[in-house]
A and B are shown apart, each in its own frame.
Chain A
Amino acid sequence: MTSIQLPDPILDRRQEIQRIAAASLDRRKIYSKIALSFCGVFLGVALVPLVAVLAYTIQRGLQAWSVDFFAHLPTPSGIPGGGIRNAIVGSLIIDGIAAAGAIPFGILAGMFLAESSGRFADGVRFAADVLSGVPSIIMAIFAYALLVKPLGHFSAIAASFAIGVLMLPIIMRASETAIRSVPSTLSEAGLALGARQATVARRVTIPTALPGLITGVLLALARGVGETAPLLFTAIGSQYFSSSPFKPIAALPLVVYQDGIQAYPDLQRTAWGTALFLILLVLLLSVGSRLGAAWLRREKR
């Protein structure tokens, strides 16, 4: 087998190791199988609630869906043909204003965090982390005290404020991560060509980080769309159509909350239909953010 005689200790050791490895192979295979089946079982258990929630919502929600459901305004219980048009528009307005405020602040603050180090930046980063951990009901009561109480009435803009503040830290940290992941050699290459820092940020760093920025924004939107607690104290909900930011307004999560706890089956159906719509909306935002990021990355190759 061997043409050269090896020093004995090495050859002996090789034989012993190979013998032990072969002898323990069955045992190791069994361990591996057991570990793997544990992973499988736990994965299965973890998937149960997820699948159950989705399946049940789809089953209940689809019963409510029709063209009228999306096109009509709500009707009192017992009168068929009611819809959630006002809530869809309301959510669009609330979350649109919230995003319009939170996106520029979040991205610019994220850029600041990515580009700077030091005590102040650390403080801001810590504050953002704390802010993202604050329960949304606290944001709600804050918005209530700041905007609802002084103005004397509930309004969409107060809801936008509460939701926007919730979205802010998410966008901030996601933007920071995205911008940090741009290799510093790229911005150095730009600077070495004689570009100013701001130019490099605009022409090199941001375009490179764009997929990450978009993902962060869309995930924050997905989070904001489903928030309910802040709306309870601010938008309050409405049976009527309103597109004014300064009046009480309907919103999708509020429909689920308010109609869902009613005793009337038709209102409950509306709640399930709205819940399904919300899930799809969030799913669309998540999938959209991934597809968008992947598409942006591919474009440049």
Chain B
Amino acid sequence: MTDPVTQKKQTEAATAVTALNVATEQALEPPPPNEPIMRLSGVAVAFKGRMAVRDVTLDFPEYQVTALIGPSGSGKTTLLRSLNRMHDLTRYAKISGKVMLDDVDIYARNMSPTLLRSRVGMVFQRPNPFPAMSIYENVISGLKFNGVRKKSLHDEAAESALIAADLWDSVRTRMKAGAGTLSGGEQQRLCIARALAVEPEVLLMDEPTSSLDPISTRHIEELLGELKTRVSIIIVTHNMQQAMRVSDHCAFLLMGEDKAGELIEASATTKMFHSPDDPRTLDYINGRFG
């Protein structure tokens, strides 16, 4: 027999839990996806005849963050690199299926990979600022590569991109310094600014924080929430918490039996992490494998 005080406490606790559940469920209501900026249908990537990613059909909503998650070898990075034709650089890669950016097929014959990449920017795993260039030169390098010679446009774009990457205040007085003088986290934000300065429509990020310390990582994660107001973001991460924190939508990939990556499911991040459709997704997000 429990005394009345304990009983009352238990009742209160139960009520609180119910209230919490209701609140969580409301929060779980996934945000409606925006119009897609990129649409994949039946995309497959093969290297030297060996399938690396198979049959991915997926939409990436505009001005939101979509995370590609999955264990190593599931083809996240391979898929990401097919979105701005980085696989063109290796002779062995063969891509099939259709990748649409807005209303153009990026693998169409008359599509210039150069112009495509000015519209779909990329940030890599390790910070890779150009060592022979100053901070300022790094930021405007993309503009120069694309034939933009107008100095006022350089300055304007550099300032806007550096502000967006939250680097402006710390580098505005030393724009002529070498990029190597920055810390690792700052270098990665410089690379983000460099990608942003071209004003791309889509920004691809390949595990952009995997070589950074937790504080720099957090800094970049916080940036993403603001960046998505100007650019649609597709991010590869193997850090589940990161995907949960930064993304609006998630796509889960897994290595199939023939070692080719497959898309298991794609949905709003809140749904993916609370009530995924596929048991394999549940296993993965609960850390039971991978």
- Where the two chains meet, the residues of A that have a C-beta atom closer than 8 Å to any C-beta of B are 1-4, 6-7, 9-10, 13-14, 16-18, 20-25, 27-28
Q: A10-B199, A13-B160, A16-B153 given as contacts; is B115 within 8 A of A3 (CB)?
A: no
Q: A3-B62, A23-B147 given as contacts; is B119 within 8 A of A13 (CB)?
A: no
Secondary structure class of chain A's binding surface, majority of residues? helix
Number of A-B contacts (CB under 8 A): 62
Q: A20-B148, A21-B118 given as contacts; is B199 within 8 A of A14 (CB)?
A: yes
B102 / chain A contacts, CB cutoff of 8 Å: 1
B153 / chain A contacts, CB cutoff of 8 Å: 13, 16-17
| A-facing residues in B34-50 (Cβ within 8 Å) | 34-35
Contact yes or no, A17 B160, CB < 8 A: no
Cβ-neighbour of A25 out of B114, B156, B199 (below 8 A): B114
For this complex, 28 residue pairs linking A to B, each with C-beta atoms less than 8 Å apart, are A3-B62, A3-B63, A4-B62, A4-B63, A4-B229, A6-B229, A6-B230, A7-B229, A10-B199, A10-B230, A13-B153, A13-B156, A13-B157, A13-B160, A14-B199, A14-B201, A17-B198, A17-B199, A18-B118, A20-B146, A20-B148, A20-B150, A21-B118, A21-B147, A21-B148, A25-B115, A27-B147, A28-B147
Q: For residue B232, give the distance in angstroms from its CB to the closest CB of chain A.
A: 10
Closest 8 A/B residue pairs (Cβ):
A24-B147, A14-B199, A21-B146, A3-B35, A20-B148, A21-B118, A4-B63, A3-B34
Secondary structure class of chain B's binding surface, majority of residues? loop
B230 / chain A contacts, CB cutoff of 8 Å: 6-7, 10
A1 / chain B contacts, CB cutoff of 8 Å: 102
B150 / chain A contacts, CB cutoff of 8 Å: 20
- Chain B residue with Cβ nearest A2: B62
A23 / chain B contacts, CB cutoff of 8 Å: 147
Q: For residue A32, give the distance in angstroms from its CB to the closest CB of chain B.
A: 9
Q: Mark B36-75, 1 if CB is under 8 A from A, else 0.
A: 0000000000000000000000000011000000000000
B35 / chain A contacts, CB cutoff of 8 Å: 2-3
Contact yes or no, A4 B201, CB < 8 A: no
B198 / chain A contacts, CB cutoff of 8 Å: 17
Query: Which one of B114, B147, B156 has the highest number of Cβ atoms from chain A below 10 Å of its Cβ?
Result: B147
Q: For residue A131, give the distance in angstroms from its CB to the closest CB of chain B.
A: 33
B224 at the interface (CB under 8 A from A): no
Q: A13-B199, A17-B118 given as contacts; is B112 within 8 A of A25 (CB)?
A: yes
A121–B229 alpha-carbon span in the complex (Å) = 57
Q: Mark B249-289, 1 if CB is under 8 A from A, else 0.
A: 00000000000000000000000000000000000000000
A208–B26 alpha-carbon span in the complex (Å) = 58
Q: For residue A49, give the distance in angstroms from its CB to the closest CB of chain B.
A: 30
B143 at the interface (CB under 8 A from A): yes
A22 / chain B contacts, CB cutoff of 8 Å: 115
A151–B252 alpha-carbon span in the complex (Å) = 81
| A-facing residues in B107-136 (Cβ within 8 Å) | 112, 114-115, 118-119
A24 / chain B contacts, CB cutoff of 8 Å: 146-147
Contact yes or no, B62 A17, CB < 8 A: no
Q: For residue A171, give the distance in angstroms from its CB to the closest CB of chain B.
A: 32
